[in-house]
Amino acid sequence: MRNKVFYIYIAMTIAVMGFMPSLAKASGFSVSARGAVLIDQDTGRILYEKNANQKMRIASITKIMTAILAIESGEMNQDVKVSKKAVYTEGSSLYLKEGEKVKLEDLVYGLMLRSGNDAAVAIAEHVGGSLDGFVYLMNKKAEEIGMKNTHFANPHGLDDHENHYSTAYDMAILMKYAMHNPEFKKISGTKVYHADDPDSEWERTWRNKNRLLTEKYEYCTGGKTGFTKRAKRTLVTTAAKDGQHLIAVTLNAPDDWNDHITMYNYGFSHYDQMLVLEKGTIKDISDSFYKGKVYIKSDVEYPLASNEKENMRVEYQLLKPQKDWKKKSSHTPDIVGKALIYFNEKNVRTVPIYFNHGASKDTSSWIDLFQEVFLAGLGVRIDG
């Protein structure tokens, strides 16, 4: 028989929400970008937005997807043979030579730091088997991670297709996903990279085009630049300060460096990672069976402005204790429920609740032990 769920509601505060102004208006500043978004990297919370879901051309920030697919292929140490098609790709270039073999890892560094379109095609042909095959992988990954308003048609972002587009928010989702990969995080934050050139006595040296990382903003940890005549300037960056990690995206932004600095300064000054639930035993549980015996494994934090604490609440949902659990605590499942964290009455996080078997007194075990000792004294075997 399936266990029924019963509810224990612990409301830290129940907020009555009225009309909420847009984040762009409430922030008190503006950006040059036609589309922009600032999100918390850990939770995905939107801290600022301007036309964040409007579909636009994205130029070379497309290469974030190309890079993460190359890394996830597991072939970073393999050599890639550069095709004629790759060499003659227009736009920014690593000046690869037809027929040369370059390690995939080197190509990804050149892709991210110097925005090499020739590297993008070489990577796509190697990882996807063909450009079409790689584009299929790009759109499949986009769907998997929740990029609902995105369609990729090439691996570099050139304006050679009408159906190549995304949104500021979708690109933030992509960067959030990619930054969970340690190798991508390292590459994205590299300022200078050196790669061997077997056909020359000089090694290749690639310096990152992301000036926010190299000179303009001390808290920047990585990102990707982009530009085409139709897309204009596009930029995705990441920044970290005092344990808080943010992602900024701008599309069609004449003053993108300052746009990102303005958004980051706003995010870091107005929001802090607030402790919503502390790891360890949950003290708010009053049920006699669970009291003092249930816990969560890690702290739960959420970015909040100083006046937003009242808008958080936590709800605990626990399984109804079964009779055999009370007799023998070892029968109790390890996970006995979940804690749901709400902000403005929207569920923003759910974490499992664990049962501490060591905190339970198993009365049946004492009875079994007494019976065993008593019968042994009478010379009676337990198993008959």
Residues tagged in the binding site annotation for substrate:
224
The DSSP letter of residue 321 is: P
How far, in Å, CA of 86 to CA of 123, rounded? 9
The first and second tokens of residue 292, run together, are 């003092």
User: 259 near 51, Cβ under 8 Å?
Assistant: no
User: Given phi > 0 = left and psi -120 to 50 = alpha, else beta, which region is 26?
Assistant: alpha
Max CA pair span of the chain = 95
> Is residue 213 within 8 Å of residue 225, measured between CB atoms?
no
- Sign of dihedral through CA atoms 191, 48, 240, 265? positive
Inter-CA distances, 192 with 8, 186, 247, 373, Å: 54, 12, 22, 73
- Which of 43, 145, 46 lies closest to 349 in space, CA to CA? 43
Determine the distance from the C-alpha atom of residue 149 to the mean position of all C-alpha atoms in its chain, rounded to a whole number: 18
Distance (Å, whole) CA 147 – CA 164: 13
Q: How far is the first Cα of the chain from the last one, in angstroms, to the nearest whole number? A: 33
What are the catalytic residues?
60, 63, 115
Residue 83, C-beta contacts closer than 8 angstroms, at least 6 positions apart: 98, 121, 122, 125
The alpha helices in the chain, defined as continuous H runs, are 23-26, 63-72, 84-87, 104-114, 117-128, 131-144, 168-178, 182-188, 211, 256-270, 323-327, 363-377
Q: How far, rounded to the nearest angstrom, does the alpha carbon of residue 51 sit from its chain's CA centroid?
A: 21
Strand partners, 79: 103
Residue 67, classed as helix, strand or coil, is helix
* β-bridge mates for residue 280, sequence order: 296
